[in-house]
């Protein structure tokens, strides 16, 4: 949990001033959208759209390089404009190596998404008349300040993801205090640029919020972030949600609760489409798309929050979507909006408003109780740096038990997708297990930021008798094999989703040979490789030729481990 040593204060004021000075030196620019719309920043643009009750739309995109991504962006915006529509903003899905200092990126493993060079930043801000959003691998990374300064200088003013600071590790790991200090410098820059519209983006589904067992406590985490960022640091924070929120009433509830929490000066960043109900059946995915868009659009019409809506391409859970697939769902969203404008009675909005006020009051109270607990552990409640570091070290489920934050009955029944899904998957693994794994030692690691499989296996395998050596998200293949040798493990299980499966598999196999590890190595997730052609290619066969096992479901993992580990 938290100790005073873990939360040792840095010189917070000096770090914030360093960030402010960097922005004062380089300035805050205007993007192509701001110039075209005659507004000072995206914040002003969002406020105008909210006042006019105009629904805003967002597209997420990130091919292998910035030139390929720029070409796709032009195709998307041209198609929408020819049909009489606008794209308000786009999220650039950067490669995770962008979170490393510029001089270290060349040695990092290539994954999906573009890696920006110094000359690319201005082009990103001005390529199309849609506002860029940098929601990953900017703030909360070792390169927080340099990325933030470059972005602000060209008019990219919504930057994140502060949620990743609490939950993710940079590629190869990083010193905790250095990471916290880098984050504080960037937050100082964003506080300085607040009058010019700077917004710190937090995707709650990526951070600790989604680790809680109820949506009441999910909102408590949002209130905690708001207190640290808005109240203590003077930063404007905008919360995002949606990718891991499949329940339709919960989507409307969260949008309105975040609006209530932020107040009139706040705006949301974006609402991500429901990705967890997508599969390989594109017809079913279309039905899922229509359902969540109807709710999200109706909510924005009833109570505009400043969020832009992100219709997720139907192929999202199969591969990296192409431009035509992005255009398809963007046009579909405009058709759904026509229907939503006829559906003002979709919810009992007055009843929902009462529930929202109850939820926000609870969330703010629970947030205060969490801070009181941290103070009892020796954390300085007035020092944002100490709070940030302490919360990064906090295990959410233990926090819920220790602080005893229990929402009222109505809120307690609203269970986040990750909690309910993890419980269901653990149950499936146990129900389908053909043998126990008593005494078998297993290293479990996520090789990128996606951690559901890691969390499920870390919970399920011990119930089958296994001893789990759990590594953090963003681990390297070498770290996994080193841990296996050091801990005398019998098997290694890793997951990856970021388009680098072949390269990571080769490193796993090579590290296992070098370290003398001869047990079974399982690799799952989305097993494709970005080969520079724009869209990743499937690499299952290549991984199998390396001697790696590729389970298609988590339920297969115990059988494959048992099959590969000699009986004792």
| Fold equal for 11-353 and 418-564 | no
Which pLDDT value is given to residue 535?
66
283 is written with which tokens? Answer: 């017809």
In the predicted model, is pLDDT for residue 179 greater than 80?
A: yes
Of the spans 33-42, 336-345, 539-548, which averages the highest pLDDT? 33-42
Which pLDDT value is given to residue 6?
43
Q: For the chain, give the mean pLDDT.
A: 90
Cα–Cα distance between 104 and 85 in angstroms, integer?
41
Strands (E), 18-86: 56-61
382 versus 453: which is more confidently predicted?
A: 382
51 is written with which tokens? Answer: 């006042």
**Could you tell me the pTM of the whole model?**
0.84
Which pLDDT value is given to residue 415?
77
In the predicted model, is pLDDT for residue 5 greater than 60?
A: no
Name residue 270's beta-bridge partners: 308
107 versus 50: which is more confidently predicted?
A: 50
Q: What is the mean pLDDT of residues 488-516?
A: 89
211 versus 451: which is more confidently predicted?
A: 211
CATH number for 11-353: choose from 3.90.25.10, 3.40.50.10800, 3.20.20.70, 3.20.20.240: 3.20.20.240
In the predicted model, is pLDDT for residue 2 greater than 70?
A: no
Banded model confidence at residue 370, pLDDT cuts 50, 70, 90: very high
In the predicted model, is pLDDT for residue 327 greater than 90?
A: yes
Strands (E), 421-481: 441-446, 467-470
pLDDT more than 70, % of the chain: 96
Note the pLDDT tens digit of each residue in 253-307.
999 999 999 887 889 999 999 999 998 899 999 999 999 999 999 999 999 999 9
CA nearest neighbour of 523 among 481, 485, 488: 481
In the predicted model, is pLDDT for residue 379 greater than 90?
A: yes
Note the pLDDT tens digit of each residue in 412-454.
566 787 777 878 888 888 888 888 999 999 999 887 767 788 8
In the predicted model, is pLDDT for residue 398 greater than 90?
A: no
Check: CB of residue 494 under 8 Å from CB of residue 464.
Answer: no
Q: What is the mean pLDDT of residues 477-493?
A: 92
Cα–Cα distance between 53 and 140 in angstroms, integer?
33
Question: How do strand 467-470 and strand 491-496 relate by DSSP bridges?
Answer: unpaired
314 versus 342: which is more confidently predicted?
A: 314
Check: CB of residue 390 under 8 Å from CB of residue 2.
Answer: yes
Q: What is the mean pLDDT of residues 493-503?
A: 85
Q: At what angle do helices 349-376 and 215-226 cross, to 10 degrees?
A: 60
In the predicted model, is pLDDT for residue 7 greater than 50?
A: no
Give the burial class of 156: count Cβ atoms within 10 A of its Cβ; 0-12 exposed, 13-18 middle, 19 or more buried: buried
For every residue of 24-37, DSSP letters joined together read: HHH-----HHHHHH
- CA–CA distances in Å: residue 560 to residues 497, 542, 556: 20, 18, 6
Q: What's domain 418-564's architecture?
A: 3-Layer(aba) Sandwich (3.40)
The phi, psi pair for 376, rounded to 5°, reads: -60, -25
Which pLDDT value is given to residue 567?
62
The 8-class DSSP code of residue 246 comes to -
pLDDT more than 90, % of the chain: 70
Give the burial class of 475: count Cβ atoms within 10 A of its Cβ; 0-12 exposed, 13-18 middle, 19 or more buried: buried
491 is written with which tokens? Answer: 């098997």
Q: Collect all residues with Cβ–Cβ distance below 8 Å to 52 and sequence separation of at least 6.
A: none
Q: What is the mean pLDDT of residues 189-205?
A: 97
Task: Break the chain into its structural domains and give their ranges.
Answer: 11-353, 418-564
Banded model confidence at residue 8, pLDDT cuts 50, 70, 90: very low
Note the pLDDT tens digit of each residue in 9-23.
459 999 999 999 999
Which pLDDT value is given to residue 257?
95
Name residue 272's beta-bridge partners: 310
Check: CB of residue 417 under 8 Å from CB of residue 244.
Answer: yes
Q: What is the mean pLDDT of residues 43-62?
A: 96
Name residue 394's beta-bridge partners: none
């Amino acid at each position: 949990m938290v100790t005073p040593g873990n939360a040792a204060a840095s010189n917070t004021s000096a770090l914030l001033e360093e960030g402010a000075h960097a922005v004062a030196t380089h300035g805050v620019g205007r993007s192509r959208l701001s110039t075209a719309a005659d507004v000072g920043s995206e914040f002003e643009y969002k406020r105008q759209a909210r006042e006019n009750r105009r629904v805003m739309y967002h597209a997420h995109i990130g091919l292998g390089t910035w030139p390929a991504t720029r070409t796709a962006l032009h195709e998307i915006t041209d198609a929408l404009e020819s049909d009489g529509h606008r794209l308000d903003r786009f999220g650039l899905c950067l490669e995770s190596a962008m979170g490393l200092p510029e001089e270290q990126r060349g040695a990092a493993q290539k994954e999906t998404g573009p890696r920006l060079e110094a000359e690319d930043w201005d082009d990103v801000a001005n390529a199309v008349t849609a506002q860029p959003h940098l929601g990953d691998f900017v703030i909360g990374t070792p390169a927080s300040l340099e990325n933030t300064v470059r972005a602000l200088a060209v008019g990219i003013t919504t930057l994140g993801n502060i949620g990743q600071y609490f939950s993710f590790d940079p590629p190869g790991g990083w010193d905790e205090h250095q990471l916290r200090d880098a984050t504080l410098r960037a937050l100082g820059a964003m506080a300085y640029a607040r009058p010019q519209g700077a917004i710190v983006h937090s995707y709650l589904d990526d951070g600790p919020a989604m680790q809680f067992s109820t949506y009441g406590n999910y909102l408590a985490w949002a209130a905690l972030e708001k207190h640290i960022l808005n109240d203590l640091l003077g930063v404007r924070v905008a919360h995002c949600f949606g990718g891991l929120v499949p329940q339709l009433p919960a989507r409307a509830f969260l949008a309105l609760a975040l609006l209530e929490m932020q107040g009139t000066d706040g705006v949301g960043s974006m609402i991500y489409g429901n990705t967890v109900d997508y599969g390989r059946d594109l017809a079913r995915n279309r039905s899922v798309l229509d359902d969540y868009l109807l709710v999200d659009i109706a909510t924005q019409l009833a109570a505009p929050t400043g969020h832009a809506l992100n219709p997720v391409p139907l192929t999202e859970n199969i591969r990296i979507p192409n431009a035509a697939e992005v255009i398809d769902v963007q046009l579909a969203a405009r058709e759904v909006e026509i229907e939503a404008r006829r559906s003002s009675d979709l919810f009992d909005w007055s009843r929902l408003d009462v529930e929202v006020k109850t939820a926000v009051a609870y969330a703010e109270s629970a947030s205060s109780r969490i801070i009181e607990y941290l103070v009892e552990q020796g954390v300085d409640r007035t020092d944002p740096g100490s709070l940030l570091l302490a919360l990064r070290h906090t295990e959410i489920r233990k926090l819920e038990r220790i602080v005893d934050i229990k929402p009222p009955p109505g809120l307690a029944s609203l269970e986040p997708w990750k909690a309910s899904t993890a419980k269901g998957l653990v149950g499936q693994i146990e129900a389908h297990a053909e043998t126990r794994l008593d005494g078998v030692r297993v290293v479990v690691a996520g090789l990128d930021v996606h951690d559901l499989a890691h969390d499920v296996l870390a919970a399920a395998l011990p119930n089958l008798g296994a001893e789990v050596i759990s590594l953090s998200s963003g681990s390297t293949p070498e770290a996994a094999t080193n841990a296996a040798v050091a801990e005398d493990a019998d098997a290694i299980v890793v997951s990856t989703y970021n388009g680098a499966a072949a390269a990571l598999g080769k490193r796993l196999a090579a590290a296992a040979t070098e370290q003398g590890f001869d047990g079974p190595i399982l690799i799952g997730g989305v097993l494709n490789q970005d080969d520079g052609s724009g869209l990743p290619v499937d690499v299952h066969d290549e991984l199998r030729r390396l001697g790696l096992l590729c389970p298609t479901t988590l339920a297969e993992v115990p059988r494959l481990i048992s099959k590969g580990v000699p009986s004792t």
